[in-house]
Chains A and B, each alone.
Chain A
Amino acid sequence: MWMLILTSMALGFGLGWTLRRHRLSLDGLTGPLVWLLLFLLGAEVGANDDLVAALPRLGGWAALLALATATGSAVMAWWLTRWAGMRKGGDHAR
């Protein structure tokens, strides 16, 4: 699995570098591919009877924990943004 992903990235990087003077862009593909992956993740969750059965009991705590850990990470990233000398939101690296 990891070899496949790394090989895909290496091939993509190599081809992108080779064709860097052409106008070809694959940016339009990424959105639909993420949607496809979300659909497949949803199908995996929906087909898992144990997971669906546990949702009423554990779903609320799971959602709260995800929100708390995501917010904690985002706050630390915001702090790092300031400490590293970047402006919030702006400041593309030069």
Chain B
Amino acid sequence: MRGSLIAVAFFAVGVVCGRLDVLPGAIAAGGVSTAALCALMFAVAFGVGREPTSLVRAVQAHPRLALLPVATIVGTLAGSLLLALADPTQTAGEWCAVGAGMGYYSLSSVLISEYRGPELGTLALLANIARELLALLVAPLWYRLFGRLAPIAVAGATSMDTALPVCVRYAGRDYASLAIYHGFVTDASVFFLVTLFVG
């Protein structure tokens, strides 16, 4: 809980700094963000490298776990259809396309803006940033309510990068390779799903 509050505070201070335009240009340009992401990936892979057998342990013990990306996509589309029932001003296909970003906000918002205009693209950007925040900030809650795979499923496409440390913390190091595999598959499916629904 303390970790989640600190994470919320960092995000909120970031928003304020962005609004006030007080950050140096180099930070705002994204170079620091890429460097931090690379350092994060290095640290997580370092931990996995110390226990290389953990790479195959989870799926070896439970081969059906290889279907986790399919479960994530089905759950995501079911959630999107619920919203289509609540707000018929957008079609079910549009809601599914926005939801199918699964946290990959840059690609999904650009694609949807291309296909259906900036309004739906902005909705995709906001919704997928919110999904990444839900994965990073309330992971303990997902773990407690739905078990150790839930933080990986909620993270969607981000389970292989920004949300990977959170996934490893709550699912366990044995599930690091599953989280990376899950991230690759869901990430790759974003383009096809969005195009299928609104292309």
What residues of chain A have their CB less than 8 Å away from a CB belonging to chain B? 1, 4-5, 7-20, 25-27, 29-31, 33-48, 50-52, 54-55, 58-59, 61-81, 83-86, 88-89, 92-94
Q: Given the complex of chains A and B, what is the CA–CA distance between A85 and B67 in angstroms?
A: 13
Besides A38-B7, A44-B33, A46-B16, 14 new A-B residue pairs in contact (Cβ under 8 A), listed by A number: A11-B45, A12-B42, A34-B40, A36-B10, A40-B33, A45-B129, A59-B126, A62-B123, A65-B80, A66-B134, A72-B77, A84-B64, A85-B64, A93-B172
B196 at the interface (CB under 8 A from A): no
CA distance A73 to B76 in the complex (A): 5
The answer to whether A74 touches B142, judged by C-beta atoms less than 8 angstroms apart, is yes
- From A37, A84, A92, name the one whose CB has the most chain B CB atoms within 10 angstroms: A37
B150 contacts A74, CB within 8 Å? Answer: yes
Q: Which residues of the other chain, B, contact A92 by a CB distance below 8 angstroms?
A: 172, 174
Which residues 36-87 of B sit at the A interface, judged by CB distance below 8 A? 36-52, 57-58, 60-65, 67-68, 71-72, 74-80, 82-83, 86-87
Rounded to whole angstroms, the CA-CA distance of A61 and B38 in the bound complex is 33
Number of interface residues of B (CB under 8 A): 103
Select one of A14, A38, A41, A65 contacting B79, CB under 8 A.
Answer: A65
Tell me the bound Cα distance from A62 to B21 in angstroms: 25
CA–CA, A74 and B151, complex, Å: 7
Chain A neighbourhood of B145, CB < 8 A: 74
B91 at the A interface (CB under 8 A): no
Partner of A33, one of B14, B40, B60: B40
Dominant secondary structure at the A interface: helix
B74-104, CB under 8 A of A: which get 1 and which 0? 1111111011001100000001001100100
Q: Which residues on B sit within 8 Å (CB–CB) of A94?
A: 57, 61
- Interchain Cβ contacts under 8 Å between A and B, 21 examples: A4-B34, A5-B38, A8-B45, A20-B52, A26-B47, A31-B165, A33-B165, A39-B10, A39-B13, A42-B11, A44-B28, A50-B122, A52-B19, A54-B123, A61-B87, A65-B83, A73-B76, A73-B79, A77-B154, A85-B62, A85-B64
A1 to chain B: closest CB distance in Å? 7
- Chain B proximity of A18: nearest CB distance (Å): 8
**In contact, A31 and B3 (Cβ under 8 angstroms):** yes
* Known contacts A16-B50, A42-B17, A46-B18, A81 near B148 by CB under 8 Å: yes
